[in-house]
Chain A
Amino acid sequence: MVGTVLATHALTRDFRGFRAVDGVDLAVAAGTVHALVGPNGAGKTTLFNLLTGFLRPTSGRIEVGGRDITGLPPERIAGLGVARSFQITSLFPMLSAREHVELALQGRGRLGWRFWRSAKLLGRFRDRADELLAMVGFEELAEVPSDALPYGRKRALELALALALDPVVLLLDEPTAGMGLEDVDRTVDLVDRVRAGRTVVLVEHNMSVVGRLADRVTVLQGGRVLAEGAYDEVRADERVITAYLGAPDAAG
């Protein structure tokens, strides 16, 4: 058994009397692709926001590489090598794709504080930025403001941004949401390529994507862990089928 790189212990988050995440224990093994699935409102995105510091847990603990990161702000967690993509594309509308990736690469050094230096210094990231953009299939349009990019390119840029942080743990929130079949295939191939040397946690609705990528699947429902195991095990689980399709008697 490989070590656990990301773990939660009894992680709970309340919103005004509504418990979105309820005592979740999660253990993500290093080097695996771990998928979080579940119906809408199961708490997947809340869990993601807790893991990346965008929300503070009501109770419970989060550990990365054995270190307690509960309550750290997002920028600190990112600095520890946990990078995320956003479910709803979250970019800087005025910046081009290359400028995005340069900004992400710059974040790891102290260059961002140099208000007395020229922005031309960012040119030093250009080769690495272009490399990352090529990796996500971004050969052209690198200089167009992200506002003007088609949807598929924006999603690819999301991935490039997360990869630019060279993360130990890569958290992908529905990377194939709203994509056509061709783009879904491309994204699956890409995740397959970049998983080498990292751990990937994936929120995904598309079960075929989960089947192709995930080593392990955690099913959430109503903020709780309903089932966990390999894809085939989980798919055959009675409780999971019920959660997705409704109770067997109700379904006839």
Chain B
Amino acid sequence: MSVATKSPSLVRAAARAPRRLRWALLVIGLAIALWLPNGLYPAVAVDMLCWALFAVAVDLLLGYTGLLSFGHAAFWGTSAYATGLVAIHLGVPFPVAVLSGALVAAVLAVPIGYLAVRRTGIYFAMVTLAFAQMIYYIANNRRGLTGGENGLQSVPRELFGLDLTDAYYFYYAALPVVLLGLWAAWRIVNSPFGRVLVGIRDNPARARALGYPVHRYKLLAFVLSAFIAGLGGGLFAMAHRFVTLDTLHWTTSGKAVVMVVLGGIGTLWGGVLGAGLLVRLEDWLSFSGFEAVGLVTGGLFVVVVLVFRRGLWGTAAELLRRRSGLRRVRGGEQG
């Protein structure tokens, strides 16, 4: 056979990192997560957690379903407001408030997703953006509920009477919720459902010919993604103890997409890396009194996109494969 040069076992090895390496990465990742607020300003570390969830949620759609949502702030922000309102009016422990916020975001994703998944590519992005703008204006007008431009203030941060006013302790209280969200995303990607999503991403017509109702699969992916984005948004509300209209602004959607592209589309963990990097950079720039933060982050974005086409995580994984002397066979383009 003409492709005898690529033996099956070799291809399989190239497709996924070796088991031992994956475990090592997991341990290193957990160690970093546990150490983070000791090495950084704890409030920044908490922000990283929230944005990591948001970026992973966007990658679930962009990388694994082939849908670029440019309106995910709708779910992040809606969950932030819902979480805040639940915490203010019901005084429940904060993880319960965050979960209910994420649920509200998931419910909102049903009608928006139902209409949006009927379109692909730029049209899908525009439809999601349009809905997000609608939510933004609704939130701005319903001042009685959202506080309008003043935002939702003094959100209580309650957990069985523990004192979580210090961001350092809140970080460790929030970490389990984040790990749960990240695990959920990983599970979805590596499930029978995830396999169908990748099929739909690569060849929707073929998936339909195999009997898969493509729209309904995309809708479920959209709702699950909104839920995970909602977890991040709810935690964000808890972390800052107030919610502003910024959480619903289109630039918030854009920031999450930038994080995914920085880390690497379709790598899942790349989103975590991108979130960590961007949050750290923005904090460092604003702390040093630099005015044009967007100029630097935008410049970084351009450089990464041009130099590392697969994003930081994707490129690192690629180099690792090369170093083990294995040719990458998966993925269409040449490195």
Which A positions have Cβ atoms within 8 angstroms of B?
52, 54, 73-76, 78-79, 83-84, 86, 90-96, 99, 102-104, 106-108, 111-119, 121-122, 140-145, 147-150, 153, 161, 164-165
Which residue in chain A gives the minimum CB-CB distance to B200? A92
Question: Distance (Å) between the CB of A151 and the closest chain B CB?
Answer: 10
Contacting residues of chain B (150-200) with chain A, CB-CB under 8 angstroms: 187-188, 190-196, 198-199
Cα distance A140–B3 in the bound complex, in angstroms: 11
Are A144's CB and B211's CB within 8 A? no
Chain B positions within 8 Å of A84 at CB level = 209
Question: Distance (Å) between the CB of A82 and the closest chain B CB?
Answer: 10
Could you list 9 further interchain pairs (A-B, Cβ under 8 angstroms) beyond the known A102-B195, A150-B1? A92-B199, A95-B202, A103-B199, A115-B224, A116-B188, A140-B1, A145-B329, A147-B329, A147-B330
- Would you give the 0/1 interface string for B192-234, flagging 1 where the beta carbon is closer than 8 Å to chain A? 1111101100110110111111100100100010000000000
Question: Distance (Å) between the CB of B5 and the closest chain A CB?
Answer: 10
Question: Distance (Å) between the CB of B147 and the closest chain A CB?
Answer: 36
Are B6's CB and A148's CB within 8 A? yes
Cα distance A99–B12 in the bound complex, in angstroms: 12
From B187, B194, B203, B329, contact of A91 by CB (8 A): B203
Are B332's CB and A99's CB within 8 A? no
Cα distance A111–B210 in the bound complex, in angstroms: 14
Cα distance A116–B186 in the bound complex, in angstroms: 10
Are A122's CB and B192's CB within 8 A? yes
Chain B positions within 8 Å of A92 at CB level = 198-199, 202-203, 206
Check: B39 CB closer than 8 A to any chain A CB: no
Check: B32 CB closer than 8 A to any chain A CB: no
Cα distance A230–B192 in the bound complex, in angstroms: 46
From A75, A121, A140, A147, contact of B192 by CB (8 A): A121
Take A144-B3, A144-B6 as given contacts and tell me if A83 and B195 are in contact as well, using a CB distance cutoff of 8 Å: no
Question: Distance (Å) between the CB of B73 and the closest chain A CB?
Answer: 24
Chain B positions within 8 Å of A144 at CB level = 3, 6, 8, 11, 329
From A83, A91, A106, A143, contact of B12 by CB (8 A): A143
Chain A positions within 8 Å of B212 at CB level = 75, 107, 112
Which residue in chain A gives the minimum CB-CB distance to B332? A93
**Contacts A/B (CB < 8 Å), 22 sampled:** A73-B213, A74-B209, A75-B208, A75-B213, A90-B205, A90-B209, A92-B198, A93-B203, A106-B192, A106-B195, A107-B211, A112-B192, A115-B193, A117-B191, A117-B192, A119-B191, A119-B194, A141-B3, A142-B8, A143-B11, A144-B6, A145-B11
Are B1's CB and A94's CB within 8 A? no
Check: B325 CB closer than 8 A to any chain A CB: no
Check: B331 CB closer than 8 A to any chain A CB: yes
Check: B38 CB closer than 8 A to any chain A CB: no
Which B positions have Cβ atoms within 8 angstroms of A?
1-3, 6, 8-9, 11-12, 15, 187-188, 190-196, 198-199, 202-203, 205-206, 208-214, 217, 220, 224, 329-332
Question: Distance (Å) between the CB of A246 and the closest chain B CB?
Answer: 36
Cα distance A103–B209 in the bound complex, in angstroms: 12
What is the predominant secondary structure among interface residues of chain B facing chain A? helix
Question: Distance (Å) between the CB of A21 and the closest chain B CB?
Answer: 19
Cα distance A115–B8 in the bound complex, in angstroms: 28
From B191, B192, B208, contact of A78 by CB (8 A): B208
Take A73-B208, A141-B8 as given contacts and tell me if A99 and B195 are in contact as well, using a CB distance cutoff of 8 Å: yes
Question: Distance (Å) between the CB of B206 and the closest chain A CB?
Answer: 5
Chain B positions within 8 Å of A119 at CB level = 190-192, 194-195
From A78, A113, A141, contact of B209 by CB (8 A): A78
Which residue in chain A gives the minimum CB-CB distance to B9? A143
Cα distance A143–B6 in the bound complex, in angstroms: 10
Are B205's CB and A54's CB within 8 A? yes
Take A142-B8, A144-B6, A145-B330 as given contacts and tell me if A94 and B202 are in contact as well, using a CB distance cutoff of 8 Å: yes
Take A93-B332, A94-B198, A145-B15 as given contacts and tell me if A114 and B192 are in contact as well, using a CB distance cutoff of 8 Å: yes
Question: Distance (Å) between the CB of A203 and the closest chain B CB?
Answer: 15
Which residue in chain A gives the minimum CB-CB distance to B214? A75
Cα distance A94–B209 in the bound complex, in angstroms: 18
Question: Distance (Å) between the CB of B211 and the closest chain A CB?
Answer: 4
Take A94-B202, A94-B331, A112-B217 as given contacts and tell me if A148 and B3 are in contact as well, using a CB distance cutoff of 8 Å: yes
Cα distance A114–B330 in the bound complex, in angstroms: 25
Chain B positions within 8 Å of A103 at CB level = 195-196, 199, 210
Cα distance A76–B193 in the bound complex, in angstroms: 19
Are B211's CB and A115's CB within 8 A? no
Are B329's CB and A115's CB within 8 A? no
Which residue in chain A gives the minimum CB-CB distance to B202? A92
- In the complex, which of the residues A90, A103, A142 has the most CB atoms of chain B within 10 Å of its own CB atom? A103
Cα distance A93–B15 in the bound complex, in angstroms: 13
Chain A positions within 8 Å of B331 at CB level = 94
Cα distance A74–B206 in the bound complex, in angstroms: 10
